[in-house]
Structure 1
Amino acid sequence: MQLHEIWNIISESWDEWWNYMPEGPLFNYNLGTSNGDAMVFGWHDARAVLNEDVNIAIEWGMTGDPFENRRDYKPEWAKFPDPTAQLVYADIFYAGALVDRVLMASVDGGRAYLPVPKREGDRWVAMDRPYQLVRLISDISGGRDFEEYFKRSGIYKWPA
């Protein structure tokens, strides 16, 4: 299977197509060393496997900022009661291999996920693939406010 085929499946799928595992130990960790000692810097706290093809899986929740360099990250597009955003990875796996990664933001005190946009001229832009993946993750994990949060952020989806 090619990567674009996996992305097509993700983009066209619904939350009911996925087996969601929201808790318990997962097996993909961010390993590293500190002062010569092996350490775990983060891990995913959720996983979903495609029911029709268990070779395709998504894991999310591992911090995208393991050293907390952006502890007080308040991007201008996070126009919510709690303007702090936490960066987390959403990883796509095929047959156990990591095949793609998207950086997303947990916003408004963890109430929603949004794709992390890039500044393009006078607006913030999220590409279609990250948008579709984060929308799906929001649906899988029970969040039903993705579109509302996305609209409130002022992020523009490309292509529209």
Structure 2
Amino acid sequence: MNLYQLRDLIENSSAAEWVKVEPAGVTYRYRFEVSTDRDGGEQVSVDGHRVVAVYAANVNLTMAYGMPEVKGTRWRNEDLEFEWATFPDKRFTVENADIFWAGALIHRVNYLGADGGRAYLPLGGGNDGLDVTRLDVAVAGIIDDLEGGSRFRPYVDGVPYRIQD
């Protein structure tokens, strides 16, 4: 299976075809960051995804999600605001969803925890984060459903996304 076939598979799948590994917890999908502490020494921090989901029809396809976006990158979780957001709660978080094939990382998608965590939405490029792919939308929708959301379509339809593929 090639990368384009995997993208199509994910784009055309639903959350019902993914099995969320329960209980959520240690996922063995970590990120290590090295920084300098106040004394000039190195400090290592570890962060990880909070959830892993497996595509039931082919267990080689997995998705880990819930790792906060790295500070200092384009989309940070501090004071994140979007002019297009018309939600009652203006708080957002930016997280990563990593897609794996046979254990190898093949794609990363940024997504938003929107409206104070009531919905998960795609986050793409452009100055406003609205340049998204069909894969970005599909991944955010799967995550929203797996996390118990039921309002993904009204939320995503209310945002002026620009599909880029």
Normalising by the residue count of structure 1, what TM-score does the alignment of the two structures yield?
0.87
Task: Quote the RMSD (CA, aligned, Å).
Answer: 2.3
- Work out which of the residue numbers 98, 104, 113 in structure 1 matches 2:105: 98
Q: Deviations over 1:129-154 (max 9, x none)?
A: 21111112212222111111112223
Summarize the Cα distance change of 1:124–1:50 in structure 2 as closer, same or farther, 3 Å threshold: closer
1:154 to 140, 152, 160: 160
SS at match of 1:16: helix
> In the alignment, which residue of structure 2 is the partner of 1:4?
4
Larger strand fraction of residues = 1
Is the 8 Å Cα contact of residues 18 and 55 (structure 2) preserved in structure 1?
yes
Runs (5+) with no aligned partner, structure 1: none
1:33 aligned onto 2:40: no
1:130 partnered with 2:136: yes
1:16 Cα deviation after fit = 1.7
- Specify whether residues 30 and 66 from structure 1 end up closer, same or farther in structure 2 by C-alpha distance, changes over 3 A only: farther
Counterpart of 1:87, as a letter, is V
Identity of aligned residues (%): 31
Aligned length: 157
Report the 3-state secondary structure (helix = DSSP H, G, I; strand = E; otherwise coil) of the residue aligned with 1:153.
coil
- 2:108 counterpart of 1:107: no
* Structure 2 gap segments, 5+ residues each: 37-41
Q: Is the 8 A contact 1:77 1:155 kept in 2?
A: no
| 1:157 Cα deviation after fit | 3.6
- What's the CA shift string for 1:69-102, capped at 9, x where partnerless? 5411011122211112111101100111111001
- Please, what TM-score do these two structures have when normalized by structure 2? 0.84
- Deviation per CA, 1:27-86: give whole Å up to 9, x if none: 11120112323221x211111101121110011110113369541101112221111211
**Aligned residues of 1:78 and 1:85 also touching (Cα < 8 A):** no
- The one of 113, 135, 146 aligned to 1:140: 146
Instruction: Sort the Cα spacing of 1:124 and 1:25 in 2 relative to 1 into closer, same or farther, 3 A.
Output: closer
Displacement over 6 Å in runs of 4+: none
d(CA) in 1 for partners of 2:77, 2:25: 27
